[in-house]
Amino acid sequence: MSDVFHVLGYDVGGTKLAIGLASSDGRILGKARLDNKDTHPDDILPQLVTIGRKMVADAGLSMSDIRAFGISAPYPADPVNGVMTRPTNNPKWRNVPIRRYLEEALGIPGTFENDANCAALAEWFFGAGRGCEDFIYLTMSTGIGGGIIAANRLVRGRGFYAGEIGHVVIERDGIECACGLRGCYEAYCGGRAIAQRIQRELRDCPNHPMIQLAGGRLEDIDMIVLEKAVRAGDEYAVKFWDDMCRRNAQAFGFLLNTFNPARLVLGTFAWAAGDLFLEPIRRYLPQYAWSQTIADCELVPSELRRDIGYYAGAAAALNYLKERN
């Protein structure tokens, strides 16, 4: 497909929904956001159609110019049939056949992928993964997920669970993870788990500088507060941050020696904290990966950053067309 063509994308999040119209040469021609907190699909789905059609018309195109649409959505889901089964943050969305609804309403074919895979595809087609046949994207925010591109193809796995990197166990009998396992990578390095752990450890220290940085509210301690405390030189925060970076290096080492990627593209923490986050990981990485796989791999932050949602669904559509040919 050497000609430039167009696709629509929908990124369904727990609180927001992003819609993007993209061209195959990497341009976003239109974008919109909808609030998706405590919504009902009967109210939202018709809006997706209306906004999508208007976006196409505003770009001077017709629906016949749109090759496909893609849906980026959280699990649990049925990706084969394009059904959102039980998304954790959208309790009213149960067994919603979103792909079929949009296919019928828009009159174009569509595809459905989990949100972490779509983020990887977005960086692959539009961002920091461009030109890589082997790369891995890590969502590094509230939790840790991933998408794997190997030999120029998205890796999904037999049951569509590939890329659940946050639930690789890095500590035997370690901290209990929300998934039910103990010692998961996410339990040590995911934003929510980090905040909860710090809050537990500082519960009996009401005058701790980190609580003061959080406005005196223990429950408001998060990754932003932790970063501020590290930059201020707080002893507890510096030690905590160092351990977190070492754990990240441990997980990255596993990925480098398993997949030998050319690039590891890192989400929110990497671009928000910059070298404060990346430099200690690079320093520890030789303890967990071979020098050859380290030399082969660039550690880089996401290029798309906060805009990744506008690209996620569109990238799924581009990949769907790529795999179909």
pLDDT of residue 2: 54
In a domain, 211, yes or no: yes
| Count of structural domains within the chain | 2
Q: Indicate the pTM of the whole model.
A: 0.93
pLDDT of residue 1: 43
pLDDT of residue 142: 87
What is the average pLDDT value for the chain, to the nearest integer? 95
pLDDT in tens, 14-54: 888 999 999 998 899 999 999 998 899 999 999 999 999 99
pLDDT in tens, 222-277: 999 999 999 999 999 999 999 999 999 999 999 999 999 999 999 999 999 999 99
In a domain, 270, yes or no: yes
Q: What is the residue range of 107's domain?
A: 6-124+307-324
In a domain, 144, yes or no: yes
Q: At 74, which CATH number?
A: 3.30.420.40
pLDDT of residue 325: 81
pLDDT of residue 14: 81
pLDDT in tens, 121-163: 999 999 999 999 999 999 998 889 999 999 999 999 999 999 9
In a domain, 1, yes or no: no
315 and 207 fall within a common domain: no
87 and 70 fall within a common domain: yes
101 and 165 fall within a common domain: no
pLDDT in tens, 159-175: 999 999 999 999 999 99
Three-state SS letters, the chain: CCCCCEEEEEEECCCEEEEEEEECCCCEEEEEEEECCCCCHHHHHHHHHHHHHHHHHHCCCCHHHEEEEEEEECCCCECCCCEECCCCCCCCCCCECHHHHHHHHHCCCEEEEEHHHHHHHHHHHHCCCCCCCCEEEEEECCCEEEEEEECCEECCCCCCCCCCHHHCECCCCCCECCCCCECEHHHHHCHHHHHHHHHHHCCCCCCCHHHHHCCCCHHHCCHHHHHHHHHCCCHHHHHHHHHHHHHHHHHHHHHHHHHCCCEEEECHHHHHHCHHHHHHHHHHHHHCCCHHHHHHCEEEECCCHHHHHHHHHHHHHHHHHHHHC
